[in-house]
Amino acid sequence: MAHEQETVLAAKASFDGKLEGVNITLEGRFRGDLKASGVVRILEGSDVNAKVQAAMVEIGGKFEGDINTESLRLLGPAHATGTFRAKKLSVEEGGQLDGEFEIGDGPPQRMVRNAP
């Protein structure tokens, strides 16, 4: 799937395993490893437990796992738990983060973040 531009896991779909692509959008349930040269979007209503490596990750649903990315964006309805490594972090109002963070070039930190 690496030569596909957009890979989508539909809302009622479920997938366990390894998924690679350019841009990946998850609307359903996913368990496993994700690798994208572009953007991984975890939409509202999705349930994801994964190890993610991508240029950019956007979370709007439920996420648990490990993320390694250049840019991490947490949207309002999102709830994310795990280990997060990103050069940039953005959390919208209502987004919840719980876990260990390595943001920018700083040392890892333990933090629970509930946006106001």
User: Of the given ranges (16-25, 47-56, 101-110), which has the lowest mean pLDDT?
Assistant: 101-110
- pLDDT, position 1: 41
* Residue 116 pLDDT > 50: no
Q: What is the mean pLDDT of the chain?
A: 89
pTM listed for this prediction: 0.85
Mean pLDDT over residues 71-89, rounded? 94
User: Of the given ranges (62-71, 84-93, 95-104), which has the lowest mean pLDDT?
Assistant: 95-104
Q: How far is CA 45 from CA 24, 33, 40, 55, 109, in A?
A: 16, 19, 15, 23, 28
Mean pLDDT over residues 90-107, rounded? 85
Mean pLDDT over residues 78-86, rounded? 95
Structure tokens at 96: 């919840």
